[in-house]
Amino acid sequence: MSTQPSRKLETFPNPAPARDFRIHMEIPEFTCLCPKTGQPDFATLILDYVPDKRCIELKSLKLYVWSFRNQGAFHEAVTNQILDDLVRATKPRYMHLTARFYVRGGIFTTVSAQHAQRGFRLARVPDLPLLEPGSPTR
């Protein structure tokens, strides 16, 4: 596997596909560039998901996250792009991504987005954001 930034997300088979279980990841070194100034933006990404048939491979996720380092992106756009790419790669039962951007211009920004398979009902798990029926995607 490469040690260069890459948008290719690798997956592996879910070791327990009959069970709903939560995978939680915190990625404290996300960086991209402000599309207006070109200055770096820093964020912690918090990913929670319930896999279906595939799980995300961690080294490929690291290289994927690294690939944004020199890309200009608004916080809202990059958070949704990452969620869309992860959903496309893994097709999870449920996935929630929060991007906590550090202060820029005196403002902290937090963007959250989520995905759930049609008909999937997430059991209550402590500290796991839930997609309530009929609630808008955040």
Kindly list the catalytic residues. Answer: 34, 41
- Give the start-to-end residue ranges of the domains of the chain: 12-116
User: What is the pLDDT at residue 138?
Assistant: 40
User: What is the pLDDT at residue 56?
Assistant: 98
Segment 115-126, tens digit of pLDDT: 999 988 877 655
Please classify residue 2 by burial: count the beta carbons closer than 10 Å to its beta carbon, then call 0-12 exposed, 13-18 middle and 19+ buried.
Answer: exposed
Segment 58-92, tens digit of pLDDT: 999 999 999 999 999 999 999 999 999 999 999 99
**Rounded CA gap, 66 and 45, in Å?**
12
Q: Which CATH class is domain 12-116?
A: alpha beta
Segment 6-44, tens digit of pLDDT: 999 999 999 999 999 999 999 999 999 999 999 999 999
With tokens 């049609």, the residue in question is: 118
Cα 33 from chain centroid (whole Å)? 18
